[in-house]
A and B are shown apart, each in its own frame.
Chain A
Amino acid sequence: MSIQVKDICKQFGDFVALDKVSLDFPTGELVALLGPSGCGKTTLLRIIAGLEQADSGQVLLDGDDASGTHVRERQVGFVFQHYALFRHMTVFDNVAFGMRMKPRPQRPSEKQIRAKVHDLLKLVQLDWLADRFPAQLSGGQRQRIALARALAVEPRVLLLDEPFGALDAKVRKELRRWLRNLHDELHITSIFVTHDQEEALEVADRVVLMNQGHVEQIGTPEEVYRQPATPFVYGFLGSVNLFRGRIDGETVRVGEDVLPHEANELEHGAEVVAFARPHELDVVPDAHSDAGVAARITRILAFGVTARVELDGLNGAGGQHFEVELTRERVAHLNLVEGQSVRLVPSRLKVFERNGTTGASA
């Protein structure tokens, strides 16, 4: 089922949770709503489910306005961050709950329910836990049971609210992959909310980035990561180095230092912020060059495949911290040591006008 939201507004007191949000969720896709806490993503999900009422705007389920439809009749599956399993029921009864609550004429027989529950428990690979109580399960198992329970009523959409938020890192990673496989098997239209960018990029077909009640960018994981549309998206997805400066012809001037930058539509003298990811910066020992931003190495972390160099800005970028990712060979080749003064030269720089969202890449 396709979902559309149109001009959704929602306020809690003075706090604007959603400000005219319009989105399209096509049938069969797995979409991530990604953003920092308080950006309105959970509120939007709850409005789609019907657990929250929008102040204005429409939710269209399969093209029909659902504003007047009760949660019960929306046929959505909802998975909560803290599982919300019924603690006094066994796993089996939890999964069977939705089917047992149906009005008598539509209710499957107890035998059909039994078969269906066992199918679902097999699907989430926890068939052997049917007689346990939720308290006897680990967090990851509980969330899989919660998912089985949501799927039991054959929902037309699946909504997941920070489904892995309460789990530890290792289990999260496993469940992420597992959820993706499950979606590939079932192809049910799914929306999941997360504040974890890695999770969104790894699992979703498409990512919707939200900030302060607005949609910042919509795109495939690759698009949003490679071509961030706004400074917010740039900063939110992955670590990033930031330079504040002014456009000066073909360069960005940061204090007295200069960053090379190709010509674009930005006016001469425009105040800009420039972004570069850690792997898009190179370190050049001071003596060799006068291009780039001056910085001093504070720490070299060389335990991984790549080495991470942390630096403090000097001159124009004083007081700022930078992070550069280099190969270990490069670090050895340059003889970098902590405390050394160097210059940072970006291989790729994304420039945004300050207080604006007009972007241009170099």
Chain B
Amino acid sequence: MAGATTLNWAAAAHADTAARFETRDATRETPLVKWLVLGLSLTFFAVFLLLPLVAVFVEALRKGWETYWTALAHEDALSAVKLTLTAAIIAVPLNLVFGVCAAWAIAKFEFRGKHFLITLIDLPFSVSPVIAGLVYVLIFGAQGWLGPWLAAHEIKILFAVPGIVLATVFVTFPFVARELIPLMQAQGREEEEAAIVLGANGWQTFWYVTLPNIKWGLLYGVILCNARAMGEFGAVSVVSGHIRGQTNTLPLHVEILYNEYQFAAAFAVASLLAMLALVTLGIKTWVEHRAAHASRDETPPEALQDAAS
């Protein structure tokens, strides 16, 4: 999962190479190999990716549009949508800020424990989300470390919205940071140094120099972060308590409906998540396109030589 999150800046350049490779006799493979490889991957794609996506919509609409709308308009479903949006609206900006800070610290400064921090950022990717949820239960639960104190002050974290937000923040933490660290490391410190020498203060340097340079990577990270925040199941499931209409997010709502044999309703709600995924993919493709465009602009056209000046 982690490996799939890096923005492919060079996609455009590769397309040219592939075309050239294919059209030349000297480098071309036999048609048999070509169609075998293509066939295999397309079949796999159809069976494992496309089929489930189609199935979601087919199952959702099996009992007609009316059932579909009823399932979506049900107050539990609406409250699940609301909670999912709330969690995402809190978690994504938080991780945006944390992610930029962490990436900034790692890319621009030398300090002890830097490698440890980089490893730590990946923790949410490497640990099972269920464990992440259990950790929160251990800390904030009634028998947990802070449980008695929280109970005494009547603060509810577990089985309430704060718990769900915390779990979401934890699970989605790496997306923005992981996207930005390699990008900022590659860009180095020189432009920031130039800005400081020219008299810019820290905030001006960040706002006018650093941020414009990382905006596409940042947007990409935010999109992935958002997709995961809305779709997270494991960690949220552990801390939510599954109280209908109160602590159910969309994925949890789907599970409940499914367990109650309301298949059409379950798939109807699931189709919402599927559409979210499709929209995310659409935006992601657009960002990739823009980023590739931006990075292509940065390769110098050496045609404009000094002779022209």
Contacts and interface: CB of A to CB of B under 8 A. Distances in A.
Q: Do A and B bind each other?
A: yes
Interface of A: 49, 51, 71-72, 76-78, 80, 82, 84-88, 97-98, 101-102, 125-126, 133, 135-141, 146, 149-150, 152-153, 170-171, 174
Interface stretch (B7-15, B169-177, B279-287, B293-301): B293-301
A153 B197 CA distance: 10
Interface in B188-226: 190-191, 193-201, 204, 208-209, 212-213
Contact of B297 (A78, A133, A174): A133
Given A72-B199, A146-B194, 16 more contacts: A49-B197, A51-B197, A71-B197, A78-B194, A80-B190, A84-B191, A84-B194, A86-B194, A88-B212, A101-B198, A139-B306, A140-B309, A150-B197, A152-B198, A153-B198, A153-B199
22 contacts: A49-B197, A51-B196, A51-B197, A76-B197, A78-B193, A84-B193, A86-B208, A86-B209, A87-B191, A97-B195, A98-B199, A101-B199, A102-B199, A136-B301, A138-B305, A138-B306, A138-B309, A139-B300, A139-B306, A140-B306, A140-B309, A150-B198
B201 A72 contact: yes
Interface residues of B, number: 27
B4 interface: no
B130 to A, nearest CB: 43
Contact of B213 (A88, A101, A139, A152): A88
B154 interface: no
Contact of B196 (A71, A82, A137, A138): A71
Give chain B's interface secondary structure class.
Answer: helix
Contacts of B193: 51, 78, 80, 84
Nearest to B211: A88
A269 B6 CA distance: 69
Contacts of A138: 300, 302, 304-306, 308-309
A15 to B, nearest CB: 15
Contacts of B309: 125-126, 138, 140-141
B144 to A, nearest CB: 45
Kindly list the 6 A-B residue pairs having the minimum CB-CB distance in the complex, ordered from nearest.
Answer: A98-B198, A84-B190, A84-B194, A101-B200, A140-B306, A88-B212
Nearest to B205: A101
B191 A72 contact: no
Contacts of B196: 51, 71-72
Contact of A174 (B198, B200, B209, B306): B306
Given A126-B309, A141-B309, A97 B299 contact: no
A174 B194 CA distance: 25
A87 B299 contact: no
A152 B200 CA distance: 13
A153 to B, nearest CB: 6
Contacts of B298: 87, 135
Contacts of A97: 195, 198, 200, 208
B300 A135 contact: yes
B197 A135 contact: no
A125 B212 CA distance: 28
A78 B196 CA distance: 10
Given A88-B212, A97-B195, A135 B306 contact: no
Interface string B233-269: 0000000000000000000000000000000000000
Contacts of B197: 49, 51, 71-72, 76-78, 150
A76 B298 CA distance: 28
A339 B69 CA distance: 98
A77 B193 CA distance: 11
Given A51-B193, A88-B212, A141 B306 contact: yes
A127 B196 CA distance: 25
A137 B201 CA distance: 28
A87 B213 contact: yes
A86 B200 CA distance: 13
A146 B191 CA distance: 11
Contacts of A170: 306
Given A87-B213, A136-B304, A101 B204 contact: yes
